[in-house]
Amino acid sequence: MAIATINPTTGETVKTFEPLTDAAIETKLGLAQTAFKQYQRLPFEQRSIWMQKAADILERDREIYAKMMTLEMGKTLKSAIAEVEKCALVCRYYAKNAAQFMADVPASTDASSSFVRYQPLGVILAVMPWNFPFWQVFRFAAPTLMAGNVGLLKHASNVPQCALKIEEIFTEAGFPEGVFQTLLVGSDKVGKIVADDRVKAATLTGSEPAGESLAAQAGKNLKKVVLELGGSDPFIVMSSADLPAALSTAVTSRMLNSGQTCVAAKRFILAEEIAEEFIAGFVEKFEQLKVGDPMLPETDIGPLATPAILKELENQVQACIASGAKLLTGGRALSEKAGNFYLPTILTDIPLDAAARQQEFFGPVALVFRVANIDEAIELANSTSFGLAATAWTTVSSECDRFISELEAGAVFINGLVKSDPRLPFGGIKRSGYGRELSIQGIHEFVNIKTVWVK
């Protein structure tokens, strides 16, 4: 895949980049290693000052960064601005809390003193996707750098300017040279970089094939990995639910980022009693959404990030209909417009053997199912290979308890929108990956949990 900015709204190639040569990669690895030797010894107060400065820069130049994201991957400008603000938030969160998260933890044993000490590992590689070009990187970088590690970013090939801007932010914030570097390389170089002795661990957010490939390379070299992969999150609505709230949250969840969100609700599982009413409202709201230029404030849905993503989504919807599913609205690309636009789409009556039941639809497409009771709802929700997050809407506390304990997911949200929050861990189970980002769990992924015993 070429490293280039290709505007998904127009199809125009704006700028192309030469990938780094092997010699340039070698130089950057050396720089990262050298930087770590000094950087790991710095006090938290110093790192915290730089991290807060990074937050200040993000807030100061939010419009510039937001426009870059919209240009490169097509998210609406208003959502891109919110993304930059959230990045500032995660920087401030770890600037404030990292020292406490990394503090020694005493343990009472037969020693005169015994405790756990958290220490950074060294150079950490992050392989990141294009869908939240800033947020995905900052939620890795803020805890990783605050822990005393140094970071190397291999960003998705379609967001190179975002990748370069992020390095600039950390440099301007004052982090020493080599503490955070962007590597403009294709995915073909990832294996070699992971295998390099100087790289101690890696994290990847992206598709299952990419996760498998990185995990295999890391496994061969006995290195730790965190994987944040795909999802097909269920959104369950029981008959007792606050229907208007569930409905508007369902639309928001499915349509965030033009449908290209790992934790978007993708399968809507409705109790028979409320299914008719919910579906009528769902179709109406989908048809009111404004698809168009993501730079305009009135736009709800921008283009999909690349022509390949559009093509894949079109194929998935067509195959689902061919398998016997019913199309309630949408179901086609906006071919009358340049760019990668796809209409908000709802599919229902999806046959039991349809491949769609096991797939992730990475775009503005909702799959709707009806169930007779909570047992069926939970069984259907758990029937995919994914396990990222799940939402359930109910006001019955016994149902609430069952959803919390029985849904197979890294997160369960009751009566609310699934979203990441620096204060809560984020990650999946099953084929959605392993490991956690954010919160105290996130900062502990890339540390040596050192046992200390003294007599």
- With beta carbons less than 8 A apart as the criterion, state whether 143 and 120 touch: no
Residue nearest to ligand NAP (CB): 206
Using the minimum distance from each CB to ligand NAP, give the nearer residue, 121 or 411: 411
Catalytic residue from among 87, 91, 162, 262: 262
Residue 262 appears among annotated catalytic residues: yes
Q: Which of 228, 399, 437, 445 is catalytic?
A: 228
Smallest distance from ligand NAP to CB 191, Å: 7
| Strand-pair partners of 327 | 347
Beta-carbon count within 10 A of 10 CB = 14
Q: Smallest distance from the beta carbon of 324 to ligand NAP, in angstroms?
A: 25
Reading the block at residue 66, the tokens are 């937001």
Q: Do residues 422 and 89 make contact, with C-beta atoms less than 8 angstroms apart?
A: yes
- For residue 418, the number of C-alpha atoms closer than 13 Å in the C-beta half-sphere is 31
SS3 118: strand
Instruction: Give the number of other Cβ atoms within 10 Å of residue 356's Cβ.
Output: 21
Closest CA to 22 of 195, 152, 151, 192: 192
DSSP result, 185-218: --GGGHHHHHHSTTEEEEEEES-HHHHHHHHHHH
- Which run of H or of E encompasses 383? none
Question: What three-state secondary structure class fits 73?
Answer: helix
Distance between CA atoms of residues 68 and 45, nearest Å: 32
Q: How far is the CB of 4 from ligand NAP (least distance, A)?
A: 11
Residue 360 or 408 with smaller CB distance to ligand NAP:
360
> For residue 41, how many other CB atoms are within 10 A of its CB?
9
State the nearest-atom distance from the C-beta of 322 to ligand NAP, in Å: 23
CA distance 55 to 281: 40
- Report, in Å, the least distance between residue 157 CB and ligand NAP: 4
Which one, 114 or 187, has the nearer CB to ligand NAP? Answer: 187
How many C-beta atoms lie closer than 10 Å to residue 434's C-beta? 17
Question: Would you say 317 and 367 are in contact if contact means Cβ atoms under 8 Å apart?
Answer: no
Nearest CB to ligand NAP, comparing residues 202 and 275? 202
Distance linking the first and last C-alpha atoms of the chain: 57
In the bound complex, what is the minimum distance in angstroms from residue 298's beta carbon to ligand NAP? 26
Length of the chain, in residues: 455
Can 228 be counted among the known catalytic residues? yes
**Binding footprint of ligand NAP on the chain (CB under 6 A):** 1, 127-131, 154-157, 186-187, 190, 204-207, 209-210, 213-214, 228-231, 262, 360, 362, 388, 428
Least distance from ligand NAP to the Cβ atom of residue 70, Å: 17
Residue for token pair 């084929």: 431
Please classify residue 373 by burial: count the beta carbons closer than 10 Å to its beta carbon, then call 0-12 exposed, 13-18 middle and 19+ buried: exposed
CA distance 40 to 38: 6
Count of CB atoms situated within 10 Å of the CB of 209: 10
Q: Residue 130 or 342: which CB sits closer to ligand NAP?
A: 130
Is 48 or 161 the residue whose CB approaches ligand NAP more closely?
161
Q: How far is the CB of 413 from ligand NAP (least distance, A)?
A: 15
* Cα gap 357→351, rounded to integer Å: 8
Q: State the nearest-atom distance from the C-beta of 42 to ligand NAP, in Å.
A: 29
Residue 141: Cβ within 10 Å count: 28
Q: Which residues pair with 224 in a beta bridge?
A: 201
Of 247 and 301, the one with the shorter C-beta distance to ligand NAP is 301
Q: Cβ closer to ligand NAP: 82 or 99?
A: 82
Which CB, 241 or 438, lies closer to ligand NAP? 438
Amino acid at 401: D
Q: Which positions are annotated as active-site residues?
A: 228, 262
